[in-house]
A and B are shown apart, each in its own frame.
Chain A
Amino acid sequence: MNTNWFRGLLALALIGLAFGVYGMYERLFFGLNPVAFGSYVPWGLWVAFYLFFLGLSAGAFLVTILTYVLNLKHFEGIAPLSAFVVLIALICEVQFILLDLGTMHRAFYQFFLTPSFSSLMTWMFVLFNAMLLIYAVKTFLLIRGGLIRRAGENKGPAAKIYALLSLGRRTYTEEMSRRDDRWVHILAWISLPVGLLFYGANGAFFAILMNRPIWNSAMTPLLFVVAALLSGGALVAFLTHVFRQKDPFNPEGVCREDRLCMDLGKVVLFLLAVFLVLEAMQFFVGYQTAKTDIVTSLDLMVKGQGARVFWVVHLLIGSLVPLALLIFGAHSPRAVSWACFLIFITFIAVRYNFVVSDLAVYKLEGLETAFVHSRLTTDYAPNLNEWMVSAWIISTGLIAFVLGIRYLPVLAGWNGGNAHEVR
Chain B
Amino acid sequence: MARILPQEDFLVRMQRDLKRALAGDADAVKWAMVIDLAKCIGCHACTLACVAENKLPPGVVYRPVMEEEIGRYPEVRRRFVPRPCLQCQNPPCVKVCPVTATFKNKQGITVVDYKRCIGCRYCLVACPYSARTSDFGEWYTKPTPDADGIIFGRKAAAKAYEAMPAAEYKKKWPQRGKGSPIGNARKCHFCLHRLAVGMLPACVTSCVGRSTFFGNRNDPESLVFELLASPRVYRLKEELGTRPSVYYLA
Contact = CB atoms under 8 A, between A and B. Distances in A.
Interface of A: 30-33, 35, 38-40, 42-43, 100-104, 106-107, 110-111, 113-116, 118-122, 125, 208-212, 359, 362-367, 369-371, 373-376
A43 B125 contact: yes
9 contacts: A39-B60, A102-B121, A102-B134, A110-B118, A116-B97, A125-B98, A209-B125, A363-B127, A371-B61
Q: Main SS of chain B's interface residues?
A: loop
B96 A38 contact: no
Given A102-B184, A121-B96, A370-B64, 20 more contacts: A31-B137, A31-B182, A32-B137, A38-B59, A38-B136, A39-B124, A39-B134, A103-B119, A110-B116, A114-B99, A115-B98, A115-B100, A116-B100, A118-B95, A119-B98, A366-B66, A369-B67, A371-B64, A373-B61, A376-B133
Contact of B122 (A30, A119, A369, A374): A119
Contact of B100 (A38, A43, A106, A114): A114
B127 to A, nearest CB: 7
Contacts of B12: none
A32 B138 CA distance: 10
A362 B130 contact: yes
B65 interface: yes
A163 B114 CA distance: 46
A42 B138 contact: no
Given A115-B100, A121-B96, A32 B136 contact: yes
Given A116-B99, A121-B98, A371 B47 contact: yes
Interface of B: 47, 58-61, 64-68, 81, 83, 92, 95-101, 116-122, 124-130, 132-138, 180, 182-185, 236-237, 240
A32 B117 CA distance: 15
B130 A119 contact: no
A32 B118 CA distance: 12
B121 A42 contact: yes
Nearest to B82: A370
Among A111, A116, A359, residue most surrounded by chain B Cβ atoms (within 10 Å): A116
Contacts of A42: 121, 124-125, 134
A54 B123 CA distance: 22
Given A38-B136, A111-B98, A119-B98, A212 B67 contact: no
A106 B118 contact: yes
Contacts of A104: 118-119
Contacts of B126: 209, 211
A99 to B, nearest CB: 11
B141 to A, nearest CB: 14
